Chains A and B, each alone.
Chain A
Amino acid sequence: MIKVESLGVTIGNKKIIDDISFSAESGENISIIGPNGAGKTTLLKSIAGLIDCTGNILIENKNIKEISHIDRGTKISFIPQGSDIDGEFTVRSFVELSRFPYRKPWESINSKDTELVENAIYMTECTEFADREMGSLSGGEKQRVLIAGAIAQDCPVILLDEPLTYLDPVQRDKITKLIDTISKKENRLVITVTHEINEALSFSSRILVMSQGRLVFDDVPEKLMVSNVLDAVFATEFMKIMNPVTGKMMYFPGGSK
């Protein structure tokens, strides 16, 4: 599905991403975690084609550098952090605009577009505020609308940059379950950058850990739990406590190393 080969990003004289390679398949729900400044968002933006990089990113065996902008819009959907969105568009207009790569400039929205848009709005539970302006929504609602846009864009790959930031625990849970549904039921590859280690460990099928621009771990969450990778990259000793309900291990930062 997607193959990242020797990816590198240098800004000024600083290597932000240093020789990263991995591949991923449809239906995977991958979380990228790591401390601030590790290069997580840069990696995500590079895969989305938003940042110039060295190395190769292949999607369905095609190099994204050789795919036109409009075709790329049918392959990869990127959701940035929701803080810098013009708030005067309505939810429905925003989701409808996700059909951009499939429509000619003079074409109006067709029945297939409408069906996908309404389905995305329904799936993300945005129906009741679909005609409200984005600026009037709460953080959790706005995040759901952004995800609705990505679903309506109908790409095999969805990239999310910190979708859980600033959300209360209930909203975090909703969004995490939504992301899980998109990857499993819709068989899409979802890659999420997050600082929420416990959510990532609970719902991801695979975890990538980054530190100083390099990939230092790439495996299933269970293997991360029995390693000391997180202690090393965050320079702290995590307390590991078993969740009595789910039986899964939960991480809490302890003291500095």
Chain B
Amino acid sequence: MIGRSRQMLVFLVFISAVILICAPFAGLADISLSSVFQDSVTERIFWQIRVPRVAGAFIAGAVLAIAGMSFQSMFRNDLATPYTLGVSSGAALGAVIAIKLFSDGLFLNLPFVEILSFAGALATVGLIFLLASAKKRNTAQFLILAGIAVNFTTSGLILFIQFLASGSESSSMIRWMMGSLDYTGMEPVIKMLCAFFIIVPVAFFLHRELDLMKINTEIAQSRGVNIKRVNNIIFFTVSFAVAAVVSQTGPIGFIGLIAPHIGRNLVGREHRYLIPASLLIGGLLLLISDTIARTVIAPSEIPVGVITALAGGPFFLFLLIRSSKS
């Protein structure tokens, strides 16, 4: 198994490298390697639009996948996602408030959609943490149920704000909630890269704790894992990283659920292999989805969240049917 896991990782690294190099050349404008260095317009499209978008898609996918994997191990529930604690609905609530207040999303030249969606995501998890910190409530079951309750409440508030919004505001809100990587320049990429450099080292550092917690919580405690400490670290790291990504891209579903599943099928359960595998698979899935989203009906663009949901749902069903057969 270990030999196979390593081979799979090498294969994933190779595939990721190939797709990462090729993806920036796909798109409406025909770009070749030589034209990047010869033509200033092409060079600008390549470095200002294509490269940031490809890099951003890969990084966002990787962060969402590691977040999903961490929550699945922490909650011992393979159906947990980065949004289990209501991060995406909190972010969406922040975003729709910003759009309602400032229809172009800007105030004092500040990107209020981004700021309020980030704040909304953190406020949601902060609320859940406060509720869970009371004695005897800090259980995986409580956190999941509290996340569901918060999701429902914020969804109600979002619908209410949409009801009050004008047609164009409502359209902007729906567009944001579909998820998109439609940005230019490296600034969003750098912000998501910060999230990447927080969540990935933490996950690697805690890989044995995650193994033990996934096996059995009591065995983990008996082996010396401080469950409460590990839970808190994962809770805050994942929440912060996901909030940082969602505030840039909107809520992109299914990556955080599916990538760890595919990873487990390819490299097994051990987190020392599962972390890099999930990271690469998540990055690839979102990158491929985004490349399809921006090329299939070019010059128009399909929101990437639509692609991930359309491809992710049936694919997840396929995995379920296959695992029930085996």
Residue ranges of A at the interface with B (Cβ–Cβ < 8 Å): 45, 48-50, 69-74, 76-80, 84-86, 88-90, 93-94, 97-98, 100-101, 103, 105, 131, 149, 153
Chain B residues closer than 8 Å to A49, beta-carbon distance: 221
Contacting pair A88 B269 (CB below 8 A): yes
Q: Which of B211, B222, B223, B224 has its CB near the most chain A CB atoms (within 10 A)?
A: B222
Given contacts A88-B268, A105-B205, contact A80 B225 (CB under 8 A): no
Check if B7 is an interface residue, CB within 8 A of chain A: no
Q: Mark B249-289, 1 if CB is under 8 A from A, else 0.
A: 00000000000000010001110000000000000000000
Contact with A along B202-243 (1 / 0, CB 8 A): 000111110110111011011111100000000000000000
Q: How far does the alpha carbon of A92 sit from the alpha carbon of B222 in the complex, in Å?
A: 18
B71 shortest CB reach to chain A, Å: 15
Query: What's the Cα separation between A98 and B215 when bound, in Å?
Result: 12
On whether A80 and B1 interact (CB within 8 A), knowing A70-B224, A97-B223, A101-B223, the answer reads no
Measured between beta carbons, the chain B residues less than 8 angstroms from A73 are 222-225
Nearest-neighbour CB distance to chain A for B124, whole angstroms, equals 29
Residues A50 and B218 in contact in the complex (CB < 8 Å), given A100-B224, A153-B223: yes
**Interface on chain B toward A: helix, strand, loop, or mixed SS?**
helix
Instruction: Select from chain B the residue with minimum beta-carbon distance to A89.
Output: B269
CA separation between A86 and B219, bound complex, in Å? 11
The 8 A CB mask of B169-208 against A (1 = contact, 0 = none) is: 0000000000000000000000000000000000001111
Please name the residue on chain A nearest to B73 by beta carbon: A86
Question: In the complex, what residues of A have CB within 8 A of residue B222's CB?
Answer: 48, 50, 73, 76-79, 153
Report the nearest B residue to A90, measured CB to CB.
B1
Interface of A (DSSP majority class)? mixed
Give the nearest-CB partner of B207 in chain A: A105
Inter-subunit contact A80/B218 (CB<8 Å): yes
Q: What residues of chain A lie closer than 8 Å to B206, measured between beta carbons?
A: 105
* Size class of the contact patch on chain B: 20 to 34
10 smallest CB-CB distances across A and B, nearest first, come from: A73-B224, A101-B224, A78-B222, A69-B226, A70-B224, A88-B269, A100-B223, A80-B218, A86-B215, A73-B223
Q: Is the CB of A97 within 8 A of B208?
A: yes
Q: Are A85 and B226 closer than 8 Å at their CB atoms?
A: no
Asked if residues A149 and B219 are in contact (CB atoms below 8 Å), the reply is yes
Contacting B221 at CB < 8 Å: which of A50, A71, A86, A94? A50
Return chain B residues, CB-CB under 8 Å to A70. 224, 226
Give chain B nearest CB distance to A75 CB in angstroms.
9
